[in-house]
Amino acid sequence: MDGLVAVVAGILGALVLTPMARAAALRFGIVDRPGDLKTQRVPVAYLGGVAVFLAALPGVLLAGEPLVLVPTGIALALGLADDLRPLPVSARVVVELAIAVAGALVVPGPLLAQIATAVLVLGLLNAVNLLDGQDGLAAGAGIVIAAGLAVLGGAATPIALGLAGALAGFLVFNRPPARIYLGDAGAYFVGTTIALLPALTRDAGTTWSIWWAVPLLVGLPVADTAIAIVRRLRSHRPLLQGDRSHVYDQLVDRGLSVGGSTLVGIGVQVVLTGLGLAASQAPPAVAFGVTVATALVLAGIAARAGLLDATRV
């Protein structure tokens, strides 16, 4: 019942709050303006992440895990500050480390689970932000990821369903062509929340299977980031320098519409989530094998399709 309440509250909250956030962003000039790395032709409102944060809040409260709001709230604040005025890399790194430490401290379980959570926070906070470069993609993939983690039970369920509902309501306004963006605030919040969920699942402290399955459950942002890193290394370009050659950009370059590219990405995450859920219920050795085998298959597909081409930067 808590999960149902969380998802309904998330959807309705986002449907009400997102237009309000958009109006405030346009009123105060908090917008993403066209530029070299921007595909839109007109300024698009930020502050979508604030609406999603507020809409997802009931799920956290229903789960009885209010401390989760410490790292997720800091993540939202960091992203909002970066949306208002780009922060120095050094400042972002320091705060991201603080978010990772806070995330590790607020989740239950053994020390290894807390360390894994800190690593996940650092990785997904940035990975979701990189994925949020195309209308509807981060929100759509986030719904699938959150729904998958909700299946694993525990306190993660109402939190994940609240997030999924909030992203679903937000997606009404973020689908191509987007009228509002998550912004760094939303991407950091979504990435941090997802990173905390594995440790809050029902059996996270009793089996390694769930942890071996996590790379599949969050597979799309991880794969997109890994491909971007390899491509930039091969081209001898700075890892932190943005480009328009992410996998979703390359799909558009090859003839897909933005909407089509977004649907392909979401579809890939659906498949990976299904594999991840199956792996999470298998013995740890099998779960590990499924994850490694899937990673090798994806790497082979990426190489064969030219997605790692150093000239695509």
pTM of the model: 0.94
Q: CA-to-CA distance for 220 and 222, rounded, in angstroms? A: 5
> Which of the four pLDDT bands, split at 50, 70 and 90, describes residue 310?
low
Amino acid 140: pLDDT: 97
Indicate whether 139 pLDDT > 80.
Answer: yes
In sequence order, what are the beta bridge partners of 180?
45
Contacts of 155 (CB under 8 A, 6+ apart): 63, 64, 65, 200
Q: Kindly state the average pLDDT of the residues 183-210.
A: 95
**Percentage of the chain with pLDDT > 90?**
80
pLDDT in tens, 71-81: 999 999 999 99
Indicate whether 238 pLDDT > 80.
Answer: no
Amino acid identity for residue 203 in this structure: D
Q: Kindly state the average pLDDT of the residues 299-308.
A: 89
Amino acid 240: pLDDT: 66
Which run of H or of E encompasses 209? helix 209-217
**Is residue 259 within 8 Å of 136, Cβ to Cβ?**
yes
Which run of H or of E encompasses 62? helix 48-63
Is residue 44 classed as helix, strand or coil in its secondary structure? strand
Q: Which residue has the higher pLDDT, 235 or 274?
A: 274
Indicate whether 312 pLDDT > 60.
Answer: no
Strands (E), 18-85: 31-32, 44-45
Amino acid 37: pLDDT: 64
Indicate whether 252 pLDDT > 60.
Answer: yes
> Which of the four pLDDT bands, split at 50, 70 and 90, describes residue 242?
low
> Which of the four pLDDT bands, split at 50, 70 and 90, describes residue 33?
confident
Indicate whether 3 pLDDT > 90.
Answer: no
Mean pLDDT of the chain: 93
Amino acid 35: pLDDT: 65
pLDDT in tens, 79-104: 999 999 989 999 999 999 999 999 99
Amino acid 1: pLDDT: 80
